[in-house]
């Protein structure tokens, strides 16, 4: 049954060349850490997006040939018949729900290292790639001809696999964008020099793909609206390329040049819909449909960009990961049910770490195939009673899923507000969207008559026993350590003037040291940089010390590191790298070089330790007693079991709640390379 929605405009069918998308919701190509390595996992995950209502669902970057091999990152591939079979499974699952399947044909050029295929990498000229001490081979005319043949063959395999939209991908620094670069492209033949020549390869690929598969498949082009930086392709040149080729593809998928700082930036640095000013001009140049992204989760913003003629399709990667059912929820006017992306890039980090992506907001992401988890459906429970102690992300998610399963749930927290760490952290600079983790779950729970919340209830073991629930889940979280134990120190730092040592918990609860503050970041994610910023903004003179080579070093994986360091420097924070805080006597910190051990003293009034966390599992220990043998009736979940990012706590709460009352599930199935 078709439900009338005030967002009806978003649900109009839109033709893309020879095919038609059923609505304007377009899951653009995005990495998954699944690719060729986890084909069943990948196919089921994309199929779930289609079930959730996305009109177009695309693959990630899909290598056309072994000369473009991005190991260890699990890219998709269309090299051979096995790849065709694997991706055909994805296309089928997408088609089952009436969506179009898209594939982003890709050649990495000099960027990749071909660690697995061991083929020479190819470039417009010989140059270094992203990471390895390997230079590409300069492509001669026969290499260009071979590349065009490979692209064509891959396009045909894509059609054979059942794809409806086939991409040409001349952006993000990969092979075809090397040709577009006025700095990298030093050729004197018909592929170098003028803009027309530099864009020749791009044009040829579009034309050849159309000629080969255009009767049945749409040809899309992913292109940066503001070029690739002035030294490569200026904004004006990008404008001219789009102008020259405006009518050639069937769809323009428009991105921007600053990948980490803007397009893929986290909510710490960039707000929803931020690409608008850079991509808005494209529609005036082409009669073809345009899609772009912007971490869109607000239907009003989507509608405005469509109505004002900026976009034909609302593009999304992260919002479709956080909520595969976003289109359905908008269509059914269930906006309060949308699980909004928080813009943390934990998803991206997992791809970067060569693992299947997971999501802070959507714990079922990546579990569709191997665990059979559905983001909207849970098995019914037996109606027995469950006490959940702790209403942080783990406890909230557990109570939410248990409530949905029909258990009688009591959720207790010592605090006078829910959310635990996410509530505290969401008040730090740039982390406001973290609160969505709490708000989504609280919104769901509040409508469940079988879930009661008790705030201001610090429960003792006797209280828990007296409550006499059939099951108990302990989700009491973790505390930042005050003794310096972490990566660098296996034992407490001996010389510590306790009075002037603060932890993130102190600062999140209002402590604001003044004067000279040294912050020791042995954690390497966002907490150290964000607290440095907060304290500097509050007037302290902050020295940030890390044993790593950069500030917030792990956030290389979330794509935030450069923005992080730039922001800290901008706020006047001094960054000291490759250094360990070895002691503090209340007057000065002892700083030890991470390599030589050489120690220097530096005046400091306060030391902030961002090292590691201690599970707050006292209640659990008291409940299970000496022998630790609980027969599963009392379980601990989240940070009180294993301190980790918020995503892990949500996942733990979800898993415990989904599986409560059932025999322990077998180990998840292992995905194999061939379907």
Catalytic site positions: 174
Interacting span for ligand ADP (CB under 6 A) from 348-356, 384-392, 498-506, 577-585? 384-392
| Binding status of residue 166 toward ligand ADP by CB under 6 A | no
The distance of closest approach from Cβ of residue 591 to ligand SF4 in the complex, given in angstroms and rounded to an integer, is 34
Residues 260 to 319: which contact ligand SF4 by CB under 6 A? Answer: 318
Rounded to 5 degrees, what angle do the CA atoms 556, 560, 564 make?
110
When binding is defined by CB under 6 A, the residue of 32, 68, 114, 360 that contacts ligand SF4 is 360
413 makes contact with ligand ADP (CB under 6 A): yes
- Specify the 3-state DSSP secondary structure of 359: coil
**Strand segments (E) across 18-132:** 19-21, 25-27, 56-63, 76-77, 100-106, 122-123
87 vs 409, beta carbon nearer ligand ADP: 409
Please identify, among the stretches 191-199, 303-311, 340-348, 451-459, the one whose residues bind ligand SF4 according to the rule CB under 6 A.
340-348
- What distance in Å separates the CA atoms of residue 382 and residue 366, rounded to the nearest whole number? 27
Q: Which does 609 bind (CB under 5 to 8 A by kind): ligand SF4, ligand ADP, none?
A: none
At closest approach, how far in Å is the CB of 366 from ligand ADP?
Answer: 20
Residue 218 binding result from ligand SF4, ligand ADP, none, given CB thresholds of 5 to 8 Å by partner type: none
Contact 445, 461 (CB under 8 A): no
3-state secondary structure 163-211: CCEEEECCCCCCHHHHHHCCCCCCCCCCCCCCHHHHCHHHHHHHHHHHH
Q: Considering only residues 431-460, where is the footprint of ligand ADP by CB under 6 A?
A: 457-459
Taken in order 192, 195, 196, 198, the sign of the CA dihedral is positive
Nearest to 129 by CA among 178, 179, 64: 178
**273 near 435, Cβ under 8 Å?**
no
User: Quick one: 305 or 361, whose CB is closer to ligand SF4?
Assistant: 361
Query: Tokens in use for 420?
Result: 């635990």
Please check whether residue 94 is in contact with residue 44, taking contact to mean a CB–CB distance below 8 angstroms.
Answer: no
Shortest CB 647 distance to ligand SF4, Å:
6
Q: Looking at 94-102, 125-133, 520-528, 636-644, which segment touches ligand ADP (CB under 6 A)? A: 636-644
| Partner interacting with residue 361 (select from ligand SF4, ligand ADP, none; CB below 5-8 Å by kind) | ligand SF4
Closest CA to 364 of 7, 655, 635, 595: 655
Of the candidate residues 45, 321, 493, 545, the single one contacting ligand SF4 (CB under 6 A): 321
**Which residues lie across from 123 on neighbouring strands?**
138
Q: Which of 319, 381, 392, 484 binds ligand ADP (CB under 6 A)?
A: 392
Nearer to ligand SF4 by Cβ, of 528 and 559: the residue is 559
d(CA 324, CA 50): 8
Q: x/- contact string, 463-502, with ligand ADP (CB under 6 A)?
A: ------------xxxx------------------------
What does the block give as tokens for 263?
Answer: 């397009």
Binding residue for ligand SF4, selected from 77, 345, 564, 579, defined by CB under 6 A: 345
Q: How far apart are CA 37 and CA 572, in angstroms?
A: 44
Judged by the rule CB under 6 A, the positions of this chain that interact with ligand ADP are 389-395, 412-415, 420-421, 457-459, 475-478, 616, 619, 638-640, 649
Judged by the rule CB under 6 A, the positions of this chain that interact with ligand SF4 are 318, 321-322, 341-347, 359-361
């Amino acid at each position: 049954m078709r439900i009338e929605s005030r967002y009806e405009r978003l649900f109009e069918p839109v033709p893309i060349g020879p095919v038609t998308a059923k609505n304007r919701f377009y899951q653009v190509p995005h990495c998954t850490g699944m690719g060729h390595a986890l084909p069943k996992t990948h196919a089921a995950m994309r199929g779930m997006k289609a079930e959730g209502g996305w009109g177009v669902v695309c693959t990630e970057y899909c290598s056309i040939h072994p000369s473009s091999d991005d190991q260890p990152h699990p890219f998709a591939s269309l090299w051979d018949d096995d790849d065709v079979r694997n991706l055909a499974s994805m296309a089928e699952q997408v088609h089952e729900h009436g969506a179009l399947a898209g594939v982003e044909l890709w050649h990495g050029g000099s960027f990749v290292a071909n660690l697995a295929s061991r083929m020479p990498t190819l470039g417009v000229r010989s140059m270094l790639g992203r990471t390895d001490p390997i230079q590409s081979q300069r492509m001669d005319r026969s290499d260009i001809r071979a590349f065009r043949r490979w692209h064509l063959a891959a396009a045909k395999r894509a059609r054979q696999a059942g794809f409806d939209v086939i991409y040409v991908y001349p952006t993000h620094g990969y092979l075809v964008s090397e040709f577009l670069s006025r700095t990298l492209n030093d050729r004197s033949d018909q592929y170098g020099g003028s803009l027309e020549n530099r864009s020749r390869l791009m044009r040829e690929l579009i034309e050849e793909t159309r000629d080969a598969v255009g009767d049945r498949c749409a040809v899309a082009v992913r292109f940066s609206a503001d070029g690739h930086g002035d030294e490569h392709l200026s904004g004006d040149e990008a404008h001219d390329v789009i102008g020259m080729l405006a009518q050639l593809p069937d769809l323009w998928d428009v991105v921007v040049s600053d990948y980490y700082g803007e397009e893929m930036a986290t909510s710490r640095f960039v707000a929803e819909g931020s690409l608008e000013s850079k991509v808005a001009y494209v529609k005036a140049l082409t009669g073809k449909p345009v899609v772009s992204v912007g971490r869109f989760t607000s239907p009003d913003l989507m509608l405005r960009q469509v109505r004002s003629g900026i976009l034909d399709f609302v593009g999304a990667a992260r919002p479709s990961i956080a909520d595969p059912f976003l289109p359905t929820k908008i269509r059914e006017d269930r906006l309060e049910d949308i699980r909004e992306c928080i813009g943390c890039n934990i998803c991206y980090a997992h791809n970067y770490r060569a693992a299947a992506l997971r999501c802070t907001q959507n714990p079922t992401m990546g579990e569709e195939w191997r665990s059979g988890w559905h983001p909207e459906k849970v098995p019914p429970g037996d109606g027995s009673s469950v006490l959940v102690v702790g209403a942080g992300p783990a406890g909230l998610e557990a109570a939410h899923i248990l409530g949905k399963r029909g258990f009688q749930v009591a959720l207790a927290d010592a605090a006078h507000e829910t959310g635990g760490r996410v509530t505290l952290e969401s008040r730090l600079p740039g982390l406001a969207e973290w609160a969505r983790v709490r708000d989504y779950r609280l919104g769901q729970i509040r409508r469940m008559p079988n879930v009661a919340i008790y705030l201001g209830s610090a429960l003792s073991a006797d209280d828990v026993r007296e409550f006499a629930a059939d099951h108990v889940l302990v989700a009491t979280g973790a505390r930042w350590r005050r003794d310096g134990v972490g990566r660098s120190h296996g034992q407490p730092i001996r010389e510590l003037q306790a009075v002037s040592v603060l932890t993130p918990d102190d600062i999140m609860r209002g402590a604001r040291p003044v004067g000279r503050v040294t912050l020791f970041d042995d954690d390497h994610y966002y907490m150290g940089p964000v607290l440095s910023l907060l304290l500097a903004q509050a007037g302290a003179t902050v020295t940030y010390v890390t044993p790593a080579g950069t500030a917030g070093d792990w956030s290389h994986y979330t794509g935030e590191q450069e923005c992080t360091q730039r922001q800290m420097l901008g706020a006047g924070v001094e960054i000291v790298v490759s250094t360990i805080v070895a002691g503090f006597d209340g007057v000065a910190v002892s700083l030890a070089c991470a390599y030589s051990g050489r120690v220097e003293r530096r005046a400091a009034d306060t030391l902030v330790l961002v090292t590691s966390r201690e599970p707050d599992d006292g209640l659990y220990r008291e409940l299970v007693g000496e022998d630790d043998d609980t027969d599963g009736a009392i379980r601990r979940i989240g940070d009180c079991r294993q301190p980790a990012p918020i995503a892990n706590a949500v996942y733990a709460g979800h898993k415990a709640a989904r599986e409560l009352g059932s025999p322990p599930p077998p180990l998840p199935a292992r995905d194999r390379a061939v379907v």
